[in-house]
Amino acid sequence: MSEETLNLESEVDRFLGSIPAGYYTIASVGGLKNLLENPQTLLVDVREPSEYESGHIPNAINIPLRTLTHNLDKIVRDAHGVNPVVLYCSTGYRSAMGVMTLHLLGYENIQGFPPSFAAWQAAGEAITSR
């Protein structure tokens, strides 16, 4: 193995070892609702535009996962890392990938909502298609 490969593996190992229990997640609809009471919370729908347009959580912005690194300017880094950012998708898979990506890029206050849009919808919470 090359030194570059060993360094990459070491960095990935360090990152994976730093993932806390709960894996940067908001585990319930109630937990997300509480966090959304903070007007500084940025809610990001990482689904495709057609999915977003068919219905999304109110006040969410759409940044499809495949374009996340091209839209980092929409995810403002607070100097103190206090403005929370929450990613969600249909089932939790894409949001988990987005959370990992942003953490690898040095973003701090990023969480995923693995119960996903499906749980929000099943709970009878408001949905918008604007």
Q: What is the CA radius of gyration of the chain?
A: 15
Q: pLDDT-derived band of residue 78, with 50, 70 and 90 as boundaries?
A: low
Q: List pLDDT tens digits, range 15-69.
A: 777 766 666 789 899 999 999 999 999 999 999 999 999 999 999 999 999 999 9
Output the pLDDT for position 22.
60
Output the pLDDT for position 28.
93
Q: pLDDT-derived band of residue 115, with 50, 70 and 90 as boundaries?
A: very high
Helix (H, G, I), strand (E, B) or coil at 25: strand
3-state helix, strand, coil split of the chain in percent (to 5) is 45, 10, 45
Q: pLDDT-derived band of residue 108, with 50, 70 and 90 as boundaries?
A: confident
Output the pLDDT for position 74.
92
**Pairs from 6-11 (Cβ < 8 Å, separation ≥ 24):** none
Q: What is the pTM of this model?
A: 0.82
Q: Which CATH class is domain 23-122?
A: alpha beta
Average pLDDT, the chain: 88
